[in-house]
Amino acid sequence: MSFFTISHWEADDWNDEMEAMARDQFAPLIMKVGAQSVNFIQTGDLTFSVVTKYADEATGIAAAQKIAEIRGQAATKLPVRMVSDVKGSTFVSH
């Protein structure tokens, strides 16, 4: 079954430059560590979640250290902070 990580973030500001950095810099970095897909989802005026899908748990766990580094880069380069994260394997998928 697929393995997902979901991180929840808050931003001090929201602008096109921030969205461009997520799209052009951070999404490709996440894909390079083995993700099958990554979605940045705006959930409020200054909040967003990042949902990342891996083929399986082993791939997701293997990527965890690099993902932590990428999250650190995001918090350094952008006015954002991670609020929480969860991860797990799917048990039903349609």
Instruction: Quick: pLDDT tens for 22-33.
Output: 999 999 999 999
How far is residue 18 from each of residues 44, 68, 81, measured CA to CA in Å? 15, 19, 13
- Res. 51 pLDDT band, cuts 50 70 90: very high
Closest C-alpha to 10, from 41, 38, 49:
49
| Within-domain flag for 36 | yes
Domain total for the chain? 1
Look up the domain containing 26 and give its range: 3-89
- Residue 17 domain-assigned (yes or no): yes
* Separation of alpha carbons 26 and 36, rounded Å: 14
Kindly report the CATH number assigned to the domain that includes residue 25: 3.30.70.100
Is residue 64 in a domain? yes
Q: Is residue 47 part of a domain?
A: yes
Percentage of the chain beyond pLDDT 90 is 94
- Give me the chain's average pLDDT, please: 95
CA nearest neighbour of 67 among 20, 22, 41, 34:
34
Of 87, 83, 22, 82, give the one whose Cα is nearest residue 54.
87
